[in-house]
């Protein structure tokens, strides 16, 4: 029968294993370090694996495929659960690690239930912590404004739900260190992607084009350093906007190496 089913581009797959972990039916497995569709009849065509892929290697296609076999999937899931239970009783059970050993690339939104004020414990009436030795630095916990993970352009999934309706921030990674109020002035209320065009040997424009083309992005803000090599991230966004075929408001903010805004 002709039906909708996933397709995994082996050239784009980085072997992270996130899709295999997300596929509860067991349709996806890791073969020779690459994600592979093991059985057509285990794939329900709903695409739970799509938003977990950081490289955009998974897409839907319509082709000749076996029908989804719910009974076979349930039997497979039961067998896997029993095997895991047996391993646990034998004392050898452990959570299966990701194929890449990198849980940091797992895509997720961050919901912040409470906005901190940044006030010190003394100002809020709370008991102050013991004074640290003078040789140690003094830390104050400010509220993070980051709304999603991951933030690296190379790791960001193309179809994550948090991109829909988002104001997108694309920043050179040095900007957050140079500009002191980066979270409040730039990250707040935006979905953040960072990269370094000098150190990353990739063309950001391809990934950014897919993100802009496939999602309802409301605006794009580029924050770069004044150094010439940082122009690569600005050019990548400009090219992505052009190639996406969409007309989206965008702006470029340039930060000096002293941490001041030069252009806006």
Least confident of 124-133, 148-157, 224-233, 236-245: 124-133
Euclidean distance between CA atoms 146 and 166, whole angstroms: 13
Nearest to 17 by CA among 36, 1, 4: 36
152 has a pLDDT exceeding 60: yes
Residue pLDDT, tens place only, 74-124: 888 888 777 767 665 555 444 444 444 455 556 677 776 655 444 433 333
Residue pLDDT, tens place only, 18-63: 888 888 888 999 888 899 999 999 998 887 788 788 888 999 899 9
What pLDDT is stored for residue 175 in this prediction? 95
Euclidean distance between CA atoms 139 and 117, whole angstroms: 15
């Amino acid at each position: 029968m002709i039906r909708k089913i996933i397709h995994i581009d082996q050239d784009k797959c980085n072997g992270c294993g996130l899709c295999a972990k997300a596929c509860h039916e067991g349709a996806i497995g890791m073969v020779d370090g690459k994600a592979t569709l093991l059985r057509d009849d285990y794939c329900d065509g709903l695409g739970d694996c799509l938003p977990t892929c950081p490289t955009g290697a998974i897409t839907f296609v319509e082709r000749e495929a076996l029908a989804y076999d719910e009974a076979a999937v349930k039997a497979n899931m039961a067998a896997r659960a029993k095997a895991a239970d047996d391993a646990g009783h034998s004392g050898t059970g452990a959570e299966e690690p990701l194929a890449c050993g990198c849980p940091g690339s797992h895509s997720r939104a961050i919901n912040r239930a409470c906005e901190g004020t940044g006030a010190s414990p003394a100002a809020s009436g709370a008991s102050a912590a013991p004074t640290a030795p003078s040789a140690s630095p003094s830390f104050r916990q400010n509220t993070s404004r980051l709304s999603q993970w991951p933030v690296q352009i190379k790791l960001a999934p193309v179809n994550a739900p948090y991109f829909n309706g988002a104001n997108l921030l694309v920043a050179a990674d040095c900007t957050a260190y140079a500009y002191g109020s980066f979270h409040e002035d730039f990250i707040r209320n935006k979905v953040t992607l960072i990269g370094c065009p000098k150190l990353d040997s990739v063309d950001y424009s391809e990934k950014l084009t897919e993100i802009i083309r496939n999602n309802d992005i409301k605006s794009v803000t580029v924050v770069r350093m004044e150094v010439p090599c940082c122009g690569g991230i600005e050019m990548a966004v400009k090219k992505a906007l052009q190639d996406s075929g969409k007309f989206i408001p965008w702006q470029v903010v340039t930060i000096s190496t002293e941490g001041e805004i030069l252009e806006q």
